[in-house]
């Protein structure tokens, strides 16, 4: 079984929108999260979807799930204080349902332009891996500064990638990694692959896509709307 976990627990504090988190903003008549869910819902190799959702929005989300006929969404769990906790809550809901070899794909609700190709590539590589991360090569030079004042290091760009989602795991491996992190008092992971790396497990790379960007700031939102506006251009004549 292949399960998609969609993380929608964020508050969208960096968006500057006061009444709703970014994943619930309206984009051409639909909440952003619905656009993301639709990609997974119609994917032929995704069997079940679990959403980890900001508590105040669970009722609203339940209504949308029915309204937009997202039949693969089986569980909505309450999100946590951190990303790590939100993911773990979703994983807990799958205990007793998933087998150890089942695959979970963890994806940010605020990345609506994830493509079928990226999901396919994740699933394909998972046939021979225990964990897979979606990345794109860094094109800008990455500068490290420990104090935000002076440069500490400029790592080699060709060794650097930017992490995206989905990140995919064997169910038993990611559950174990989360439990071990809690046991070790490690609570602030911003990325699930990090939890496996702590345990010296191998994580393989899948090519992402620049367009699979996360809508985090208002600038991202503006860019996203501009991308969609271009798509509305149609053939003008019947010549």
Partner 1 sequence: MFSKNFKVVQPKVFEQFYDIVDKKDNYILIKIDSAMICKADIRYYNGERDKRILGMKYPMSLIHEAIGTIVKGDEEKYKVGDRVVLIPNFVSEKHDKNKCKICSDKKLGENYCEEAKFSSSNVDGFSREYIAYPSEYVLKLPQRELIDEYVFLELISVCVAAIRRYGDIYKENVAVYGDGILGYIMASLLTFVFKCNVTVIGKHKEKLDKVTFAKTLFYGEKISRFNIVFECVGGKGSESAINSAIDYIEVGGSVVLMGVSEEYISINTRKVLEKGIMILGSSRSSKDDFAFAIECLDNIEFRKSIKMLIIDEVEINDIKDFYDAFEREANNKNIGREILKFNF
User: For residue 166, is the peptide bond before it cis, meaning its omega torsion is within 30 degrees of 0?
Assistant: yes
Tell me the sheet residues that pair with 103: 2, 170
| Alpha carbon distances (Å) from 226 to 23, 111, 222 | 17, 15, 6
Contact 85, 190 (CB under 8 A): no
| Contact string 127-166 vs partner 1 (x = CB under 8 A) | ----------------------------------------
| Contact string 38-67 vs partner 1 (x = CB under 8 A) | xx--xxx-----------------------
Nearest alpha-carbon partner for 26 in 112, 143, 155 = 112
Interaction residues for partner 1, span 8-37 (CB under 8 A):
28, 35
* Residue 211 lies near partner 1 (rule: CB under 8 A): yes
DSSP secondary structure code for residue 93 in this structure? H
Shortest distance, CB of residue 112 to partner 1, whole angstroms? 6
Closest to partner 1 by CB, 135 vs 228, is 228
| Contact string 103-132 vs partner 1 (x = CB under 8 A) | ---------xx-xxx--x------------
Strands 204-207 and 131-137, sheet pairing = parallel
Contact 24, 34 (CB under 8 A): no
Q: Which residues bind partner 1 (CB under 8 A)?
A: 28, 35, 38-39, 42-44, 112-113, 115-117, 120, 209, 211, 227-228, 230-239
């Amino acid at each position: 079984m292949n399960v998609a976990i969609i993380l929608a627990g964020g508050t969208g504090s960096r968006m500057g929108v006061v009444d709703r988190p970014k994943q619930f903003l309206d984009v051409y008549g639909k909440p952003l999260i619905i656009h993301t869910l639709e990609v997974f819902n119609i994917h032929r190799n995704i069997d079940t979807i679990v959403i980890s959702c900001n508590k105040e929005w669970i009722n609203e989300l339940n209504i949308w799930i029915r309204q937009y006929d997202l039949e693969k969404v089986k569980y909505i769990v309450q999100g946590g204080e951190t990303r790590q906790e939100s993911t773990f809550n979703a994983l807990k809901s799958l205990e007793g349902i998933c087998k150890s070899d089942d695959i979970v794909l963890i994806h940010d609700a605020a990345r609506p332009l994830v493509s079928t190709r990226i999901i396919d590539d994740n699933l394909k590589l998972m046939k021979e891996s225990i964990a897979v991360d979606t990345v794109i090569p860094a094109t800008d030079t990455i500068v490290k500064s420990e104090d935000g004042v002076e440069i500490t290091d400029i790592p080699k760009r060709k060794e650097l990638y930017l992490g995206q989602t989905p990140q995919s795991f064997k169910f038993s491996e990611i559950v174990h990694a989360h439990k071990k992190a809690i046991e070790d008092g490690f609570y602030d992971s911003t990325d699930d692959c990090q939890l496996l790396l702590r345990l010296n497990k191998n994580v393989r790379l899948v090519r992402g896509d620049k367009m699979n960007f996360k809508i985090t700031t208002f600038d991202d939102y503006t860019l996203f709307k501009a991308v969609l506006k271009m798509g509305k251009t149609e053939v003008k004549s019947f010549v």
